[in-house]
Structure 1
Amino acid sequence: MWANAVQEELRMSLRLTHLICAAAGALTLAVSPAIAQDKTFELKLAHWVPPSHPLQKALEDWGTSVEKASGGTLKFKVYPSQQLGKAFDHYDMARDGIADLTYINPGYQPGRFPIIGAGELPFLITNAKGGSQGFDAWYRKYADKEMKDVKFCLAFFHDPGSFHSKTKKIVVPGDVKGMKIRPAHATMAQFVSQLGGSNVQSSAPEVRDILEKGVAEAVTFPWGSVPLFGIDRVTKYHIDAPLYATTFAFVFSPITYAQLSASQKKVIDDHCTNEWALRVATPWADYEHAGVAKLKADPAHEVYPLTPEQLAEWKKAAEPLQQAWAANVKKAGGNPDAIMKELKDSLAKHNAAY
């Protein structure tokens, strides 16, 4: 009888031990994710256009979604208008951890990113929405090598832009000769030089000032941004043709990314996708496209189309740009014919090829 009592006590003790172990295990499982994610970060999202620009809301939407998906451990603040650094420095700001996510124009640093420069070539895309999806899908294959100093997030276009002039109508390539023009990026700068014009370098926020002071006579710019940056006050003539687009990217700081937990990294990865490239591009694409009608409706401006013959002349004049791009890609060890075919196929797939 005494032995039975002892055995029963042992059985109860074992059951109690199992219950304690199970509870401890459950507690460990419940607490571990919290421990892994309990460090809160306030991500600095930096760009260099005004807070009234559609990109501001795109970054706010991106940050809000990241914050929600991370359970509030990844908060954010947007820094517009070059608050954390000059437009030209935003890639290096992400590299160095000065900002956590930055908006970059690769064309602001000629020769540094030769492959993505394909997106700057004239007469490549017809619209920014499909263009951004096709462009982003294509570039992901090359981003890790070409932008190895940062964590590439996504790439996109603005809607095609054109020439906007203060002093005279630009109708054919020969009209550029002798003009002082602010180019949108390195490829357009090369185009201006090739046509006999001279380049005036400045970031987008500085364009109105250089036109107003006569430092430049014309600019290549997307349509909606002309009034946004006050450029409509200092220009009069506008070619109504999808001449070129500018490539942009969001890049994330590798310093910050390395500090995140596995689940936080997944949140960032889930927001650096082709779907997000479209989400970022869409409001801006709509905004820029609406700028054409806005300038057409203003009697102070002359918006004029090109004839088929004039357009053919522009396309012919642009051919050396693709040859120069191909030479730069070869120097970087790439196969320009294969790379360009991949890009055009991707744009065609997304209904955006010129």
Structure 2
Amino acid sequence: MKIRLFATVAAAAALFATTSVSAQTVFTVSSWLPPTHAASVAQKTWCDQVEKESAGRMKCNILPKGVVAAPGTFDAVRDGLADISYTVDGYTPGRFIFTQVAEFPFLGDSAVSTSVAYQRIYNKYFAPLGEHRGVKALAVFTHGPGIIFNAKKPVTSAAEAASLKFRIGGGNINELSKAMGWNTTLKAAPESFELLSTGVMDGTFFPDESITSFKLSMIKHATTFPGGLYNTSFVFMMNQDKYNKLSPQDKAVIDKLSGEHAARLFGEGWDRMDAASRDNQKAQGVQRVMADKAFVKAVMDKQDYLETTWAARAQVKGLKNPRDVLNEFRAEIKKVK
């Protein structure tokens, strides 16, 4: 009798263990940036929050390196090579139009304010139009204000910028560079060290954080702009089929931690890394100058062209009153605390 009872209890325990294991959802998570990068750290923090909020029903398996190079990340998540990752919308030129609203010059001095405001505008206008069709867009965000960095000389005018070769990350900064007549090449961020260390490029357009994250010790000069020369639009995403297969309870957890919550998480992480990198740059001997009124005006003179071009493209894609949306975005940035 005791043997039979023991066998029954053991079988029940084994069944429970099997059910518990099978009930757990494990997300394959990819990052094309170093694990110490602000975006990678924010992604891991989000994963930790998902595991905690779901009482362990969901967890992340963060891969040691990206499943593909940065430009292929959107398709990799869409096709299921990874369940979760993030990418720069501008790494695939012409594919995403609405997202460029977050990339214009002089938008703001904080990644938190631009990211949270961007998420609000995205939810209201862009998500219904399927800008990231094919994946589950968990959040959108931006990095901190864009800066001109180089290893050669101070850049205090548009003409001085035109005398150097720069790496850029795509999006509206690509359009601005063309309009300004600057010599720029579209390359993913992780390629920056090799491009600069070999002298193929003289500098790069980056937020502060990137000088530390990519160990760009050759950088000696930085030119900042009020509100940033540009921003970069990112999407944080999940494979749609993976999301669809979640239970209603687990979908509720993902939804709770997505949207504005995740946008703020990424923005706060970027602001912290920007601040830390500025301290490191002092030790590195980077000389910082603020663009003067003439330099700012030279950029502003191209602003209307950039906005008009974007508005026309966005309207063709179905966005009504793009100029009003841009103005609303700027107003929303000022509201975010």
Interval containing the TM-score (normalised by the shorter chain): 0.7 to 0.9
| RMSD (Å) for aligned C-alpha atoms | 2.1
Taking structure 2 as the reference length, what is the TM-score of the superposition?
0.87
Alignment correspondent of 2:294:
309
Q: What are the within-5 Å matches in structure 2 for residues 55-66 of structure 1? A: 55-66=39-50
Letter in 1 for 2:97: P
| Aligned residue among 324, 338, 353 for 2:324 | 338
Find the counterpart in structure 1 of residue 239 from structure 2: 253
For 1:98 and 1:160, the matched residues in 2 are separated by: 32
**Whole-Å separation in 1 of the counterparts to 2:316 and 2:273:** 37
- Which runs of no fewer than 5 residues in structure 2 stay unpaired? 1-17
Corresponding residue to 1:101 among 84, 88, 110: 84
Q: Establish whether residue 221 from structure 1 lines up as the match of residue 206 from structure 2.
A: yes
Q: Considering only CA atoms, is the larger Rg found in Structure 1 or Structure 2?
A: 1
Instruction: Confirm or deny that 1:236 pairs with 2:229.
Output: no
Partners of 2:132 and 2:22 in 1: how far apart? 30
Written as runs of structure 1 = structure 2, the 5 A alignment for 1:265-344 is 265-299=251-285, 301-334=286-319, 335-344=321-330
SS at match of 1:60: helix
* 1:152 pairs with 2:152: no
For 1:264 and 1:59, locate their aligned partners in 2 and report how far apart those are by CA, in whole Å: 18
Equivalent position SS for 2:85: strand
Q: Please tell me the residue identity of whatever aligns with 1:149.
A: G
Compute the displacement of 1:227 (Å): 2.3
Superposition deviation, residue 35 in structure 1: 7.7
1:167 aligns with 2:152: yes
Alpha-carbon displacement from aligned partner over 1:193-240 (angstroms, at most 9, x marks no partner):
222223322211110101122221221011121122022x22221103
Partner of 2:192: 207
Q: Residues 117 and 305 of structure 1: is their aligned pair in 2 closer, same or farther, counting only changes over 3 Å?
A: same
1:149-201: CA deviations, max 9, x gaps?
Answer: 11111111211120001223221122232532111322112222222223322
Q: How far apart, in 2, do the equivalents of 1:80 and 1:226 lie?
A: 22
> SS in structure 1 opposite 2:116?
helix
Summarize the alignment of residues 49-88 of structure 1 with structure 2, pairs less than 5 Å apart.
49-79=33-63, 81-82=65-66, 84-88=67-71
8 A contact 2:29–2:82 mirrored in 1: yes
Supply the distance in 2 between the matched residues of 1:38 and 1:286 (Cα, whole angstroms): 38
TM, length-normalised to structure 1: 0.83
Where 2:148 maps in the other structure, the secondary structure is strand
> Are 1:114 and 2:97 an aligned pair?
yes
Aligned residue for 2:120?
Answer: 137
Shift of 1:315: 2.2
Change over 3 Å in CA distance of 1:80–1:129 after alignment to 2? farther
**What fraction of aligned residue pairs are identical, expressed as a percent?**
27
Q: Which runs of 5+ in 1 are unaligned?
A: 1-33
